[in-house]
Chain A
C-alpha cells in the first residue's frame, strides 16, 4: 500500500497537474470559444444595460437563464424567440403583478427604455450557441 508521503505526493501532483490543464482549457475557452459562441460583436451597450437590470433586480431569483437560476418561473434564454418584443415589454412595464395561472411576478413598472434594454439583452443571449440546449421536446404531438 501507499505510504503517507506517497499519498501526499499523489495529492500535490494530481492537484498541480489538473489545475494547470484546467487553466489552459479555460484560457482557450475564454479567448476563442466564448467570443465566437456568444457573438461578442453584437454585445452592444443596450445589452450591457439590460444585463445590469437583470442583475440589479435579481431576475435569476425566480427564472433561469442559460439554465442557471431558480425554478419558480420559466427559462428565459430563448424568450425573445418564444414571445417576441411586445409581450416581453408589456410584462416588464406592467404596474401590477403579472400573474399567469395565478403565479405572481414582481411588478417592475419599467420605463420604455429599460424594457427595450431588457429586450436587447434577451435578443443577444438567445443567439448564443448552447450546444443544443434547451432540447427540442421530442415527444411533442405534431399537428
Chain B
C-alpha cells in the first residue's frame, strides 16, 4: 500500500468476512427446512432465516465495496483519505445498524418487502451512514491530485447506488406500485449501478495485476458500463411482465434484458484479453484467479442463467420459482461475491506486508467455493425445473411438488458443505495474514 489511511479497508473487509460466515449459517437453516427438517421453526422460522440470509449477503457485499473504495480511492487520487476517524465511526455504526436489523428480524420487526426488509426508521440510519461514507470518498477525490476514470466510475456507482435506495423507502398503498419501485432498488442495483462498482474494481485490479496501459483498460471500462446501462435500465422491464404494469413491458423488457448479458460477456472477454496482453507477471497469482474468475462466473451466473429465464414466454412459467433462486445464487456469487474476494485477495499482502500470495489453502478456497457453488446452482436448477413442470404445466398442488423435489435439497446441502469449506479456508487465510501495519507502506 502507498497511503497510511488505506488501512481502514482492512477493518471493512474483516466485517465482511464475519457477515459472510453468518450468512451461510442461515442458508443451511433454510436448506434443511426445505428438506423437511425445520426443528428451529419456533425460534427461527423460514422468513426470519431468509431475511437474515439475504440481508447479510447485501450488507457484506456493500461493506466489501466500501472497503474496496477506501483502499482504491487514495491510491488512484494519490492522497490520504480526508479522515480515517470518521471512516472508523462509519464502520462501527454500520455494524450496529446491521446487528439491530438482524436482531429485529428474530422478533417480527421488519417490513416484508423482499431484500428491503430493514424497517423505515433504521433505513434513515443507513442513509446517514452512507452519506458519511460518500462524503469521505468525494472529499478525498476532490482533494486528490488525480481523478482517474477508474476512480470516477467506482464513485459514480457508489453515489447512484445510494440514490437508488431512496425510491425503496416510499410507502405505497398499492402492492403493484410498491413492487414497481422495489425493482428500482433491486434490479437497478444488481443489473445497473453495482456493475459500475464491479467494473471500477475490476479495472483497478487489471491495471495493477496485468500491467496493461491504463488508457486501454479504461477505454474498455467505458464501453462495458455503457453496455450495462444501455441494456440494464430498460431491462428493468423483465420484472414488470406479470405484476399488473401493462403489456408494453413484455416487449421492452424482453428485448433490452436479453441484451444485458452483453455487458457481462464484455467483462469476461476484456479481463481475459488484458490478462493475455499483459507483460507484467504479478506474483499475487491467487488475486489474478479471483479477478478472472469473477469476470467469467458472473457471465455464466448473471449473463447466461439470467438469459435463460428473461424472455416473457419463459418467465411466465419460471417467475417466482426455485429457478429464480438458482440464478440468484450464481449471479450474486460470481459478480459481487467474487469481486469482493478478489480485491481482498489482492490487497491483503499490501496491507499487512506479508507476501503470502499463493499457497495450498488459498487455492483450495478458490476451487472449493466455486465448485460448491456450481453444484448448488445445479441442485436449485434441477429442483426449479421440476417444480415449474409439475406445478405450472401439470398442475400439481404446491405442497405435493415440494415433497417430490425434497431430495434435491439434500444435494444442495452437500454442495453447500463444499462451498462452505472453501469459504472457511478463505477466512482462515484472512485471519492468518494478521493486522495491517504502517511498515507495509511502499514508496
A: residues with CB less than 8 A from B are 2-4, 7-8, 10-11, 14-15, 18-19, 21-22, 25-26, 28-30, 33-34, 37-38, 40, 43, 47-48, 51, 54-62, 64-75, 97, 100-104, 106, 125, 128-135, 137-140
Docked pose: A58 CA to B110 CA in angstroms: 7
For this complex, 7 residue pairs linking A to B, each with C-beta atoms less than 8 Å apart, are: A11-B223, A34-B176, A66-B244, A130-B242, A132-B242, A135-B317, A139-B394
Q: Is the CB of A10 within 8 A of B174?
A: no
Other-chain contact of B46, A72, A132, A135, A137 (Cβ < 8 Å): A72
| Docked complex Cα distance between A94 and B243 (Å) | 30
Assembled-state Cα–Cα distance A3/B112 (Å): 47
The SS class assigned to the B binding surface is: helix
Expressed in whole angstroms, the Cα–Cα distance for A7 and B242 within the complex equals 36
What residue of chain B has the Cβ atom nearest to residue A132's Cβ?
A: B316
For B325, the chain A residues whose CB sits under 8 A away are 71
8 more contacts with CB within 8 A, not counting A29-B249, A62-B47, are A14-B230, A22-B233, A30-B180, A34-B244, A61-B48, A66-B175, A68-B243, A71-B325
Cross-interface CB contact of A100 among B242, B321, B399, cutoff 8 Å: B399
Q: Once the chains bind, are B322 and A71 in contact (CB under 8 Å)?
A: yes
B45's contact among A106, A132, A134, by CB below 8 Å, is which? A106
In the bound complex, residues from chain A placing their C-beta under 8 Å from that of B246 are 29, 33-34, 37
Cβ–Cβ contact A67 & B320, under 8 A? yes
Set of chain B residues within 8 Å of A58, measured between Cβ atoms: 47-48, 51, 108, 110-112, 117
Cβ of B210 within 8 Å of any chain A Cβ, yes or no, is: no
Question: Is the CB–CB distance between B38 and A60 below 8 Å?
Answer: no
Please name the residue on chain B nearest to A21 by beta carbon: B234
The answer to whether B245 has its CB under 8 Å from any CB of chain A is: yes
B400 in the interface (beta carbon within 8 A): yes
**Most chain B beta-carbon neighbours within 10 Å: one of A47, A72, A104:** A72
Q: Tell whether B229 is near chain A: CB-to-CB under 8 Å.
A: yes
Give the number of A-B contacts (CB < 8 Å): 208
User: Are A137 and B393 in touch, CB under 8 angstroms?
Assistant: yes
Centre residue among A11, A100, A135 by max chain B CB count within 10 A:
A11
Do A71 and B320 contact each other (CB < 8 Å), given the known contacts A38-B174, A100-B399, A103-B402? Answer: yes
Query: Is B47's CB under 8 angstroms from A11's CB?
Result: no
CB neighbours of B50 from chain A (8 A): 61-62, 70, 72
Bound complex: CA A60 to CA B226 (Å): 34
Decide if B316 touches A135 in the complex (CB within 8 Å).
Answer: yes
Bound-state CA distance A47–B50 (Å) is 26
Task: Kindly list chain A residues whose C-beta atoms are within 8 Å of the C-beta of B395.
Answer: 137, 139-140
Complex contacts, A66 vs chain B, CB 8 Å: 175-176, 179, 242-244
Contact A131 B242 (CB under 8 A): yes
Nearest A residue (CB) for B247: A131
Closest CB in chain B relative to A66 CB, distance in Å: 4
Segment of B214-222, B287-295, B360-368 in the binding face:
B214-222
Nearest Cβ distance between residue A117 and chain B, in whole angstroms? 13
Residues in chain A near residue B240, CB distance under 8 A:
29
Whether a CB of chain A sits under 8 angstroms from the CB of B114 is yes
Q: Is B146 an interface residue (CB 8 A)?
A: no
Given contacts A18-B229, A75-B398, is CB(A37)–CB(B176) below 8 Å?
yes
User: In the docked arrangement, what's the CA distance between A68 and B321, Å?
Assistant: 9
Give me the 5 closest cross-chain CB pairs, A-B, nearest first.
A61-B47, A137-B395, A67-B320, A58-B112, A133-B242
CA distance A21 to B222 in the complex (A): 21
